[in-house]
Structure 1
């Protein structure tokens, strides 16, 4: 897929239903890796997602009228907190995640953020490869109550 085939738009509360469907489809692979469906991307409700999208710097990727990717982000001082990067399973590995990361980082920089932070599970090798290729560096590992280790990564923004 050519990058210019993808349209990037702001993520809005009106996108909540489609974004939640995409999120659940995208995170099924993560559930298989961790042998658990009890993960926030899979248990989040539509109302919770709508509320999260009210003030959000995230964006969606569209191919024609189809949402093929979404990412959420919010500003915390000069830090951009990026979360829930979700790519449609049939579109993974085609550069959509990279395009969305670049778009949300640009939005964060325009909003005054100097650094971006995100996290993923330690067993999510494809995610870790993507984030490393995008210039993120590991800053910390946190052991969760469920035994899963969260890997936090940061990157300086322009």
Structure 2
């Protein structure tokens, strides 16, 4: 497995992986989850200047995506997507670790993230990784659960 920064030419592959990764939640939420609606061309084309997108690649296959937004006092993990064939291998954990490592590199004390309340697997997973629930509220038309971790 290798990790590398995404390029603008990766937008289509990222979109496909994210859509496949989050498709299982559409019925549960009643609409497409927010990561499925992201404009990857704009993000990778510089319209999100404080964004970083990292790819996880095994062989020639894109297996994971980590989308971070760098804020003044924290890193926001906007999206973590893992190919179905890689679930249970620790790739999601490793992607979160990359976010935490990046926060430390930048001297930022905290990593924040959120998930949809209907994604109960994620709501249970993040506390096992050291994230503390900080809020539950409607946000962007979704019911979200917010988490933070000091690094």
Normalised by the shorter chain, which TM-score bucket? 0.7 to 0.9
Residue number in structure 2 paired with 1:83: 78
How many correspondences in the alignment? 150
Unaligned runs of 5+ in 2: none
Query: 123, 135, 144: which is aligned to 2:130?
Result: 135
2:146 aligned residue: 152
Confirm or deny: 8 A CA contact 2:14 2:40 kept in the other structure.
Answer: no
- Report Cα offsets for 1:30-73 as digits up to 9, x if no partner: 21221223x33223334334335664333211111211000111
Mind listing any 5+ residue stretches in structure 1 that lack a counterpart?
A: 1-5
2:51–2:68 Cα contact (<8 Å) kept:
yes
Which structure has more relative contact order (CA 8 Å, sep 6+)? It is 1
TM-score, normalised via structure 1 length: 0.84
SS of structure 1 residue aligned to 2:3: strand
1:10 has 2:5 as partner: yes
Q: CA deviation at 1:144?
A: 4.2
Query: What TM-score do you get using the length of structure 2 for normalisation?
Result: 0.87
CA contact (8 A) 1:11 1:56 kept: no
Aligned to 2:51: 56
Please list every run of at least 4 consecutive aligned residues from structure 1 whose deviation after the TM superposition is greater than 3 angstroms: 51-55
CA RMSD of aligned residues (A): 2.0
